[in-house]
Amino acid sequence: MTDVQLQPLPQYPVAQAIKERRSIKNFKNKPVSLEVIEELLDIAVWAPNHKIREPWRFIAYVEDGRKTLIQLLKREAESNKMGKPMKRAKIEYLLAIPAYLLVIMPEDPRPKVWEEDFAAVSAMIQNFQLAAWERGLGVIWKTDDFIYSPQVRQAIGVQPGEKIVGMLQIGYPEAVPKAQQRTSAAERLTVISDANSMLTEEEFHIPLSGENLFMNLPSTSKAEAIQLAGEKLVELGYVGESYIESMHEKELTKSTYLGNGICTPHGSKQAKESVVQSGVAVLHFPEGIDYENGERVYLMIAIAAERMFHLDVLRQAATMFEDKVQVDKIMASDSKEDFLRKFEEIHRETRVL
């Protein structure tokens, strides 16, 4: 790879550090103090981590403590090479590294938490590398096989349920490697700028037509309105008559008022045996009906639901009529055709929400 000449970016020091940082393999014979490592860690732990779990701990090997770690690495390497001793040059190379830092995380048995924690620790390590680079220090993040060795884990005090994420080798760079060109992100970027392009023909739509829409109904009581809605579901062939009683019972245990003058009465889970097929009956009350706590309902979407159909209707109704402006718009309809047209318009306008 050819060397990449980076232009100074004084106004963007973080960007500059990211682009200039290198993994360092050869270090000067200059110690790295524990105080500096602790200062860098105090910066690094500001990495994003879900619910501030701070899923990390550290073991630092400095000064003569490095020999303890190198002895463990030597023993592990030789056990995997049929007893062949580690070459002197390798030992001297390891001894020349000024400081080592092991990064350890808890391994939560829940996959989502494990992934969040591993991502957080990785971000923390990158923070450490950048903060070190800013101070003239180099780091290389090593994940050699020894991090999985039961013997090494036990010897350094890694507990069951913990993972060694890596070993950081730290020191002042003897030499800085040339930059290796990165592929432009644009070559691997998918851009979606049209919201409609993300939608599919399978998107749920409340099944409304001239047959199941009942316009300009007179104001009545809540119980009578639910009774009427149930009778319409029966007439449409969606449910048996026993479903109506279930709608009343459901309303006594939990109100189906959705807000902004909309309600969605439906039967209980036990009433699903009375459902012939999923569907809705939409009742339009221009003057409104007293529903609960002084709230008036102008649009009743009665639901007959197999499986989880009622949840689809509830989600779409809540989305379409979250804004009272949309309710006022559709309530101003003067015919079924006008109502259906406005209903479709509201659906299109709110579908990306």
Task: Please check whether residues 69 and 113 belong to one and the same domain.
Answer: yes
Domain residues for 239?
213-350
Residue 282 domain-assigned (yes or no):
yes
On average, the pLDDT of the chain sits at: 89
Residue 99 domain-assigned (yes or no):
yes
Last residue of some domain: 179, 197, 225?
Answer: 179
Task: Please check whether residues 150 and 228 belong to one and the same domain.
Answer: no
Task: Please check whether residues 314 and 173 belong to one and the same domain.
Answer: no
Residue 196 domain-assigned (yes or no):
no
For 338, residues 6+ apart whose C-beta sits below 8 A from its C-beta are none
Pairing verdict, β 257-259 and 162-171:
unpaired
Task: Please give the sequence-ordered ranges of beta strands (E in DSSP) within the chain, or none if there are none.
Answer: 57-62, 99-106, 138-142, 162-171, 213-214, 257-259, 262-263, 279-292, 295-304
Task: Please check whether residues 122 and 236 belong to one and the same domain.
Answer: no
Looking at residue 83, what is its pLDDT? 64
Give the model confidence (pLDDT) of 267-299 as tens digits. 877 777 888 888 889 999 999 898 888 889 999
Give the model confidence (pLDDT) of 250-270 as tens digits. 888 888 888 888 898 888 777
Higher pLDDT, 306 or 325: 325
Looking at residue 218, what is its pLDDT? 92
Give the model confidence (pLDDT) of 70-85 as tens digits. 999 999 988 865 567 8
Closest CA to 63 of 36, 98, 106, 20: 98
Strand, coil or helix: 89:
helix
Give the model confidence (pLDDT) of 98-113 as tens digits. 999 999 999 999 999 9
Task: Please check whether residues 127 and 254 belong to one and the same domain.
Answer: no
Residue 208 domain-assigned (yes or no):
no
Looking at residue 177, what is its pLDDT? 94
Q: What percent of the chain has pLDDT over 70?
A: 93
pTM as predicted: 0.59
Task: Please check whether residues 92 and 136 belong to one and the same domain.
Answer: yes
Looking at residue 117, what is its pLDDT? 97
What is the DSSP code (8-state) at residue 239?
Answer: B
Give the model confidence (pLDDT) of 189-242 as tens digits. 988 876 555 555 456 788 888 898 998 899 999 999 999 999 999 999 998 988
Task: Please check whether residues 140 and 264 belong to one and the same domain.
Answer: no
Last residue of some domain: 179, 195, 226?
Answer: 179
Give the pLDDT band (50/70/90) at residue 310.
confident
Task: Please check whether residues 61 and 168 belong to one and the same domain.
Answer: yes
> Max CA-CA distance within the chain?
96
Looking at residue 1, what is its pLDDT? 37
Strand, coil or helix: 260:
coil
Residue 4 domain-assigned (yes or no):
no
Residue 197 domain-assigned (yes or no):
no
Residue 51 domain-assigned (yes or no):
yes
Give the model confidence (pLDDT) of 86-98 as tens digits. 899 999 999 999 9
pLDDT of 138 strictly over 90: yes
CATH number of the domain within which 32 lies: 3.40.109.10
Last residue of some domain: 179, 197, 224?
Answer: 179
Closest CA to 250 of 234, 261, 235, 263: 263
Cα separation, 145 vs 151, in Å, equals 12
Report residue 177 as tokens.
């490697």
Task: Please check whether residues 32 and 170 belong to one and the same domain.
Answer: yes
Task: Please check whether residues 34 and 165 belong to one and the same domain.
Answer: yes
Task: Please check whether residues 230 and 175 belong to one and the same domain.
Answer: no
Residue 279 domain-assigned (yes or no):
yes
Q: Are the beta carbons of 350 and 319 closer than 8 angstroms?
A: yes
Q: Are the beta carbons of 278 and 203 closer than 8 angstroms?
A: no
CATH number of the domain within which 234 lies: 3.40.930.10
Sign of CA dihedral 164, 170, 174, 179: positive
**Number of domains into which the chain is organized:** 2
Q: Are the beta carbons of 145 and 153 closer than 8 angstroms?
A: no
For 170, residues 6+ apart whose C-beta sits below 8 A from its C-beta are 32, 37, 97, 98, 99, 100, 101, 132, 137, 138, 139
Task: Please check whether residues 126 and 232 belong to one and the same domain.
Answer: no
Crossing angle for the helix pair 336-350 and 309-320, to the nearest 10 degrees: 90
